[in-house]
Amino acid sequence: MKMEKEMEMRTEMGSKTEMKTSMSMSKSEFKPESDPLNVIALISGGKDSLYSLLHCLENGHKIVALANLYPRARARSASASASHSHSHSPAHSQAKKEEKQEKENEQKEKKDVLLHEGLDGITKDEDQDHGEDEDLNSFMYQTVGYSMIPLYAECLGLPLYRRQITGSAVQTGRYYDTSSLSTATGIETNTETESESKTETETETEKSLDETEDLLPLLQEILHKHPAANALCSGAILSTYQRTRVESVAVRLGLTPLAYLWQYPALPPPVGRDDSLTGLLDDMAAAGCDARIIKIASGGIKESLLWSNVADADSRTRSRLVTGFRPFFPDREFWLRGAVLGEGGEYETLAINGPRRLWKKRIAMSEETSSSSSSTIVGDGGVSYVRLGRAMTVQNQPESTEQDEGSIRVPRAWDPQFEGVATKVQSMLSVSGPSASDRGDGLEHGSKPFPPAAMQLSQNLTSTCLTISNITAQPSTVVGVSVTDVSSTPTVQMQQICAKLNSLIDAIPAPSHGLGLPWKPTSSDIVFAALLLKDISHFGAINAVYSTLFRSGEPNPPARVTLACDLPAGIEVSLSVILDLRPRGSRRGLHVQSRSYWAPANIGPYSQAICVPLKAPQDSPVNVNVHDAELVEVVHVAGQIPLIPQSMQVLSGSFLEQAVLSLQHLWRVGQERGVDLWPWGVAFLQHDEDIPTRADQASKVWQQVNQIGTRPAKDTSTTDSSEDEDGLDAWDRAYNRGSTYEATVGEHLHVLPKPSAFKETSSGSRFVPPFIAAEVVSLPRAATVEWWSLGLANLLQLPGSVPRAYTSRRRYTWGSIGTISFQLRQQEQEQEQSLSRMTDTTIHLVTVLIHLPASLATSDAVDAETVERDVIDMFSSGPDQPALPPVEVAHGTAFISAADQDQTQWCKQALFANLTVVPCKSVYGSAGLTTSDLAWEGEGEGEEEKDEYQSGEDLQSTLKAKRASKKLKAEETWCTGMQNDAAPSCQPLAAALTLSLRVEHGSQSSRFGSG
């Protein structure tokens, strides 16, 4: 199977008793621990779909059947006239009289769905007379070489089921939406009787479906004959287009999707292989695979590579692929790795042999096939392919194909960055492990139950988003919403919450808030959700109700964090959501439901990540490409727990191992989405007697992963190269192709964090975002830790690099405030004057850490009003600033400790009133290390920032009054309350707050330049 024609690749990568004497993480790899699955293998004849079967076996699963979709045969005259063309229309567009005859043949074929189980000797498919020019160039399926598919039944000793492709690429977008399909058309039973009695209307309806839907009746027939089948595997590597469509069908049929090759070029190399531009092909070669190039659709490689083996033992073909493609990707190594695999449709292959554990026989072709002079067909646009001749199956000899059981290479479990983190932190803990007495656990303060008043329902509507926080089933005073019957049943409470949420969304006037939206917001606009339970054992039932918020089959549900915490009495569930009010077409989703080696699959109504641009709706086209438009994105990421991706089992290891693995998942999701920076890191910790120690370990892990960096030292070794035997032309000489294969590798992973994102940095410095550890009751799957953050992507792609971020941090007697800030700049036209002026929008991502009184010089309780005033001052150039520019408090979270003596004070402050509240048993935190600590130390106090902020008319007047009444105290804090010292160790907190602020102001008041 192959990728859509436009390449979609991202730039587009506990206690001491718990510790081991040495970390085995870097040496041991994860072994399959889940129950074996009975797999239906979706094959195309290409290298990837056949190689994925070997990984199914390697993970302990059983292949029960092969499935294939092939193009409908054309009339001979049409085939002859199209023999020199490689862009053919789908089958349903043929002339009516041709369809009539084909329909009769099709009905006969559908009766047994083309079951192939035994083919002896020389086999010649009837379609071979037409050659392989029947390739549909399908976005979804590889169809070139389809006449060879029946041979795989005998080669692999497995039953093969086939069906013709009747649909076309109706949905050509990246994501696949089945929410508009009815049950009748979306999941047809398609029995023989139904097939024979179809009306003309029903047939036309079938033909209007996307080609993806042809999988449904094929798989249903296989399930009828193999009812034990419970999984579906595909060879998707980098194609979201392909993967999401296979997953859609699999999930609707109750099958577990498997895509073991997903993101393979971004994964660390297996044991026994160094990092390589041709890594997957190298691993295929090591396994004994033989896959021949049968179609070339790129000017980067020459016709002479037709029928070459991409997994040849001497790597000659792989060398020529790299040499041919490198000039097209001079500074895009990840894209180059994808092109070498043919992920952009550059070439396609036919697998003819492999290791004996799968391949009982091999495919042998007639002599004319291997003779390029007689079998090569050249089409339009430089496309060329092999006209396949007669083929036979030949018994594999043990001595020629027998492979060691361990020869199927599996990517290492740990990225180099995280392997280094594990080693470093383990050595730190071995020298001086922390203890609860050293850290202080806050128990002397006493724990208070959270009152319902601490979780007030709030709504916050800004120009870019709507935040609805702390939705519970308790009585509400919100206009238009009345819930008086508070049920103790979690499921009923969740139903009431969903009804309340829908009512609140429906109550938004259209056009909303003067935004002029072309649609009325619905639950489809939710991009992030925080689902809090009192008891995690109720998650299954609550999740089923939560799912009803979204249309079945709608792609890219919100990213989500789920946990159990000490909710107030009578409250079993709390839900907070963020709705994005920008054009829906500008969002990017990552919802991987397949098991792989990459990161845990998300089965259910939540995505790994949802990306939204920070441009106002009126400034962005409906279907904007954020990379082409160079738009900064906010990336809402789901919480990550320490699941082994390929088995979806929780890692059984020390807390440190679990903390490192789950953070690696967060990193991989962020790298795939192009995240440049995290503004903070939050580790939810399951309740444990030694939480201070675990908080300290998680803090060290967070600090080290940000300091070690993404890319290991460059490998100076060279890769075996081979000069193109066809000689070097002018293009070759211009790009020095003769030496490019010897270049170093390792530049393919997206750098996270990206030090160059900052306006000012010192040489070798690294930004460490603030860290928060929130102790909760329990986490999904009884995990010990769940990591969460918010990502910033595309920071360097804006015009003139204006929005390069800067950071600052201030320390006070009560705690600290840290920020990441960056600027969006756009031209606005004055309505009353014919003058163009620059309008600046500054985004501030703020972390506020409030210490417990015991950690202060005074025993006074923390004053939320003082904290709010200091946050206000953080965004002014001085205490005498006369005016405050308008600000929007977009969204945020308050992690409140049970040891906080006044848990309701935060919601009483205007600035913090709309935050999502997470009741915690305890909270710990570290202020991190900012670029101001590194680059601006020694400058005058208060020089870090000159931008102030304010939000809304009501909030603006409130904060102005507070600033005026406390001016003298503010001046004293300005002069003496800030320190630019190094980040402190992890300390117990009364509360931790994260906020996303949006400030609008004129360019005259901005501290940013254009450099």
pLDDT, tens digit (0-9, with 9 covering 90-100), for 178-217: 998 854 344 433 333 333 444 444 444 445 788 899 999 9
User: pLDDT tens digits, residue range 339-364?
Assistant: 999 999 999 999 999 999 999 999 99
Q: Which pLDDT does position 838 carry in this prediction?
A: 53
Q: Which pLDDT does position 628 carry in this prediction?
A: 55
Q: Which residues contact 426 (CB under 8 A, 6 or more apart)?
A: 19, 20, 22, 23, 656
User: pLDDT tens digits, residue range 448-462?
Assistant: 889 999 999 999 988
The CA–CA distances, whole Å, from 750 to 247, 747, 766 equal 26, 8, 16
Strands 391-395 and 361-365: antiparallel
- Torsion angle, CA of 329/342/648/425, rounded to 10 degrees? -30
Residue scoring higher pLDDT (254 or 476) = 254
CB 305 within 8 A of CB 366: no
Q: Which pLDDT does position 145 carry in this prediction?
A: 81
Amino acid at 762: S
Place 126 in a pLDDT band, splitting at 50, 70 and 90: very low
Q: Which residues contact 868 (CB under 8 A, 6 or more apart)?
A: 909, 910, 911, 912, 959, 962
Distance CA 188, CA 439 (A): 61
The CA–CA distances, whole Å, from 489 to 152, 494, 570, 624, 778 equal 54, 9, 10, 44, 19
Put residue 944 in one of left, alpha, beta given phi > 0 → left and psi -120 to 50 → alpha: alpha
DSSP-assigned letters across all residues of 402-471: ---GGGS--B-SS-HHHHHHHHHHHHHHHHS---HHHH--SGGG---PPPGGGS--EEEE-SSEEEEEEE
Residue scoring higher pLDDT (368 or 995) = 995
DSSP-assigned letters across all residues of 677-697: E-S-EEEEEE--TTHHHHHHH
Place 505 in a pLDDT band, splitting at 50, 70 and 90: very high
Strand stretches in 557-614, DSSP E? 559-564, 573-580, 588-590, 609-613
What's the sign of the alpha-carbon dihedral 153, 159, 164, 166?
A: negative
Say if residue 942's pLDDT is above 50: no
Whether the upstream peptide bond of residue 753 has omega within 30° of 0, thus cis, is yes
Q: Which pLDDT does position 999 carry in this prediction?
A: 79
Q: Which pLDDT does position 373 carry in this prediction?
A: 58
Place 382 in a pLDDT band, splitting at 50, 70 and 90: confident
Q: Is 703 exposed, middle or buried (0-12, 13-18, 19+ CB in 10 A)?
A: buried
User: pLDDT tens digits, residue range 651-662?
Assistant: 998 999 999 999
Q: What values do phi and psi take at 649, rounded to 5?
A: -105, 145
Q: Which pLDDT does position 570 carry in this prediction?
A: 93
Residue scoring higher pLDDT (692 or 861) = 692
User: What architecture (CATH level 2) is domain 273-399+712-745?
Assistant: Alpha-Beta Complex (3.90)
Of 51-60, 720-729, 805-814, where does mean pLDDT reach its minimum?
A: 720-729
Distance CA 979, CA 554 (A): 50
Say if residue 983's pLDDT is above 50: no
Say if residue 101's pLDDT is above 90: no
Say if residue 888's pLDDT is above 90: no
Place 172 in a pLDDT band, splitting at 50, 70 and 90: confident
| Cα 309–Cα 311–Cα 315 angle in degrees, nearest 5 | 95
Q: Which residues of 787-803 are buried (b: 16+ CB within 10 A; e: fewer)?
A: bbbbbbbbbebbeeebb
Q: Which residues of 594-633 are buried (b: 16+ CB within 10 A; e: fewer)?
A: bbbbbbbbbbebbbbbbbbbbbebeebeeebebbebebbb
What's the sign of the alpha-carbon dihedral 584, 585, 590, 591?
A: positive
What SS3 class is residue 85? coil
Lookup: tokens for 565 = 């915490």
- Mean pLDDT across 601-618: 84
Highest mean pLDDT among 141-150, 555-564, 763-772, 802-811: 555-564
Distance CA 217, CA 222 (A): 9
Q: Which pLDDT does position 519 carry in this prediction?
A: 74
Distance CA 66, CA 204 (A): 28
Residue scoring higher pLDDT (202 or 249) = 249
- Torsion angle, CA of 523/525/528/529, rounded to 10 degrees? -10
What SS3 class is residue 841? strand
Name the packing angle between helices 316-325 and 279-287 (round to 10°): 170
User: pLDDT tens digits, residue range 288-339?
Assistant: 999 999 999 988 898 999 999 999 999 999 999 999 999 999 889 999 999 9
Q: Which pLDDT does position 762 carry in this prediction?
A: 52
Say if residue 684's pLDDT is above 90: yes
Distance CA 523, CA 270 (A): 43
Distance CA 549, CA 560 (A): 14
Of 107-116, 873-882, 894-903, 971-980, where does mean pLDDT reach its minimum?
A: 971-980
Lookup: tokens for 435 = 């203890």
Q: How many CB atoms lie within 10 A of CB 655?
A: 23
User: What's the first-to-final CA gap in the chain, in angstroms?
Assistant: 46
Q: Which pLDDT does position 209 carry in this prediction?
A: 85
DSSP-assigned letters across all residues of 171-238: --SSS---TT--HHHHS----HHHHHT--HHHHHHHHTSBGGGGHHHHHHHHHHH-TT--EEE---SS
Q: Which pLDDT does position 746 carry in this prediction?
A: 72
Q: Which pLDDT does position 802 carry in this prediction?
A: 54
Q: What values do phi and psi take at 352, rounded to 5?
A: -120, -5
In the chain, % of residues over pLDDT 90? 51
Say if residue 438's pLDDT is above 50: no
Q: Of 529, 530, 532, 507, which Cα lies nearest the Cα of 520?
A: 507
- Mean pLDDT across 666-672: 98
CB 836 within 8 A of CB 827: yes
Say if residue 665's pLDDT is above 80: yes
Distance CA 321, CA 906 (A): 60
Total-model pTM = 0.84
CB 909 within 8 A of CB 862: no
Q: Which pLDDT does position 476 carry in this prediction?
A: 54
What SS3 class is residue 84? coil
Place 534 in a pLDDT band, splitting at 50, 70 and 90: very high
| Cα 735–Cα 736–Cα 738 angle in degrees, nearest 5 | 135
What's domain 36-262's superfamily in CATH? HUPs (3.40.50.620)
H/E run at residue 968: helix 967-976
Distance CA 470, CA 574 (A): 6
Radius of gyration of the chain (CA): 30
Q: Residue 608 carries which DSSP code?
A: S
Name the packing angle between helices 655-672 and 416-431 (round to 10°): 150
| Cα 278–Cα 284–Cα 289 angle in degrees, nearest 5 | 135
Q: Which pLDDT does position 363 carry in this prediction?
A: 96
Which residue pairs, CB below 8 angstroms and at least 24 apart, start in 495-499? 495/545, 497/471, 497/472, 497/473, 497/573, 497/574, 497/575, 498/545, 498/546, 498/548, 498/549
Q: Residue 393 carries which DSSP code?
A: E
Distance CA 245, CA 239 (A): 10
Q: Any idea where the domains of the chain sit in the sequence?
A: 36-262, 273-399+712-745, 459-478+506-711+754-1005
Say if residue 377's pLDDT is above 60: yes
Q: Which pLDDT does position 21 carry in this prediction?
A: 36
Place 432 in a pLDDT band, splitting at 50, 70 and 90: low
Say if residue 996's pLDDT is above 70: yes
Say if residue 685's pLDDT is above 80: yes
Say if residue 743's pLDDT is above 60: no
Say if residue 833's pLDDT is above 70: no
Of 17-31, 237-251, 372-386, 654-668, where does mean pLDDT reach its minimum?
A: 17-31
Residue scoring higher pLDDT (15 or 598) = 598
Q: Which pLDDT does position 857 carry in this prediction?
A: 47
Q: Which pLDDT does position 327 carry in this prediction?
A: 94
Q: Which pLDDT does position 536 carry in this prediction?
A: 97
Q: How many CB atoms lie within 10 A of CB 99?
A: 17
| Mean pLDDT rounded to a whole number for the chain | 77
Put residue 263 in one of left, alpha, beta given phi > 0 → left and psi -120 to 50 → alpha: left
Of 496-505, 539-548, 995-1004, where does mean pLDDT reach its minimum?
A: 995-1004
Say if residue 889's pLDDT is above 50: yes
Distance CA 121, CA 369 (A): 18
